[in-house]
Structure 1
Amino acid sequence: MGTVTPLPHLVRAAPLQVGFDRDELTRILDLYGRMVAAGRWRDYAMDFHRDAAIFSAFRRTAERPEYRIEKRPALRSRQGLWALVSEAGAILKRGDELANILAPIERKLMKLVAD
């Protein structure tokens, strides 16, 4: 018979990168589509790092992003999993719910439709 080699204990390692799940990405891209239809945004970028997943929305491709939506799981128990960051880098809103983070942008969209 052959030799049985024991497998090392499975240690839950940190993920190699943070990402958005399907519901989160659907919610973000829905808002992006409405802002594109309103003529406010023209491009987006997604960055996936070890500690954060970032969705950036641009007015024009060559500029800084108007908004960044950041998901940082390490801050879940402290400041909140989500953050909305302005073009200047100021954190506009933090929280645990994506809907609450997107609310300031959605209010801006309502003002655009009213004009």
Structure 2
Amino acid sequence: MTEVVTFEQARRRHHPKAGGTNPKGKSQFFNRQELRDILQSYSRGVIAGDWLDYAVDWSETGAAFAIYGQVSAVPIFSIVKRAKQGRRTAGYQLVGRGGILKSDRALGAVLKMLDSRRTALVKS
């Protein structure tokens, strides 16, 4: 049986919680270059037929780019940008259904892991 949930319930259920707040009190989002890099990686997955849709979410604590498969209400992967907290620099995470797959200060490292995960799915 299908369960009906609100967008807020789905977001809380499928996106990892971020700790702390953005010191400026502004929403955290991907900049133009980051979004371009993420969309290029996402496009390769769409062209290969692995991914069908995406969603973008943001708040004071971070931003998330969720990637959905062919018939899925749950994101296969989420690329999360965490807001800078105190002395800690902003960071990126690749989150899969099983939890955090990769954390790094550089978006490129996270996208490289995403591409390798996608090709691993195709080969199996």
- Smaller-chain TM-score range? 0.7 to 0.9
Indicate which of 10, 20, 28 corresponds to 2:30. 20
CA–CA separation in structure 2 for the residues paired with 1:68 and 1:83: 8
TM-score (norm 1): 0.75
Query: What secondary structure is seen at the aligned counterpart in 2 of 1:74?
Result: coil
Between structure 1 and structure 2, the one with the greater Rg is 1
> How many pairs were matched up?
102
- Post-superposition offset of 1:113: 7.3
Alignment partners' CA distance in 1, 2:122 and 2:32: 28
Residue 80 (structure 1) shift: 5.8
Moved over 6 A (4+): 112-115
Q: What residue in structure 2 maps to residue 66 of structure 1?
A: 76
Q: Deviation per CA, 1:69-111, whole angstroms, max 9, x where unpaired?
A: 00002358548610110123x1111011001011122124445
Q: Which runs of 5+ in 1 are unaligned?
A: 1-12
Unaligned runs of 5+ in 2: 1-22
Change in Cα spacing, 1:76 to 1:63, as seen in structure 2 (3 Å) is farther
| Higher RCO structure, 1 or 2 (CA under 8 Å, sep 6+) | 2
Tell me how far 1:41 sits from its aligned partner: 0.3
Distance 1:60 1:14 in 2: 38
Distance 1:77 1:64 in 2: 33
**Please, what TM-score do these two structures have when normalized by structure 2?**
0.70
Q: Take 1:48 and 1:96, find their aligned partners in 2: how far apart are those partners?
A: 18
- Aligned identity (percent) is 31
